[in-house]
Amino acid sequence: MDAQQERVATRYVDAQGHTIYAWNLTSSKLTDPVKLYMPSNRIVPIVFVPGIMGSNLKASRVVEQVKIVKGIKVKKTLANKGQRIWNIDSMTSLVKADNSISWPGKDPADRQLLLNMDAVEVDDRGQIELRREESFVYVPDEGRSGDRKREEIRQARLDDKRRRGWGTVSWYSYGPFLNWLEEHLAGATYRNGKPSTTFLELLQQVGTSPTGAIHAPPPLTEEQIKKLVKFRFPVHAVGYNWLKSNLDSGQYLADKIAAIRKHYTDLGM
């Protein structure tokens, strides 16, 4: 890294929700400070809810089909407990997701047994990808230990997204949007008195109203957008068992939102 370039410690979130900074000892010739940018403790969680069939589901128990063949009861296992039942990402890829059900060839009886609301539950093991800038991790160590640390941080960032429910929804359908939303909500910052690129993009929306709205809200003002830098907007996703009723799914969502609020309250945010 150029000695004239600002040195900023890499930041990530650990399993307990605490902010961690990574840095190594550097040459004594580098006397400029290493900066640790602290995220705001003012939290406004953003909860994304997918559409019908957009949540990943797995078998909550063994799913069997029982037939009587020539007077003999014959059992056929359709899915084992924990096996992926519904995963759009595995259906849109040439490489099936591990342990996923293959739907081609399934007859109506099989589908009815597999897509039984009481036989499935939400699966949080779906695909998750980092944004390009998240994948780039700067640690001032070009050796193997630095490589290991960079990989640990990438994995920690993936784990943080998974804890926020991103693995419960289809990445093919919603993943790029979740990353875009998080980037824009987290990227509206000022550093050294200068607005970030994302902040400048938001400022371009000043004076405009969202397109497509039946009743357009008042245009955003620059002051409203500047308030974003005082808050942190972690993006959560809540997949649900879409085979159940709206009432059941609504209660499940309410419970998840309560748990999210409690999580940040327990962290003192």
Listed residue (92, 90, 166, 91) closest to 128, CA to CA: 166
Mean pLDDT of 177-196: 77
DSSP 20-59: EEE-----TT--SPEE-PPPPS-B--EEE---TT-B-EEE
Quick one: tokens of 27? Answer: 């040459």
Phi, psi of 250 (to 5 degrees): -65, -40
- Per the CB < 8 A criterion, the answer to whether 42 and 59 are in contact is no
> Per-residue pLDDT tens for 195-238?
677 777 777 776 777 677 677 777 777 777 777 778 888 999 99
Q: Which of 26-40, 82-96, 169-183, 190-204 has the lowest mean pLDDT?
A: 190-204
> Per-residue pLDDT tens for 88-142?
887 655 445 556 787 778 889 999 999 999 999 999 999 999 998 888 887 777 7
- The predicted structure's pLDDT at residue 95: 47
Phi, psi of 198 (to 5 degrees): -65, -40
Mean per-residue pLDDT over the chain, rounded? 84
Note the pTM of the prediction, 2 decimals.
0.83
d(CA 83, CA 60): 8
Q: How many CA atoms lie within 13 A of 67 on its CB side?
A: 9
List 4's β-bridge partners, or say none: none
- The predicted structure's pLDDT at residue 115: 95
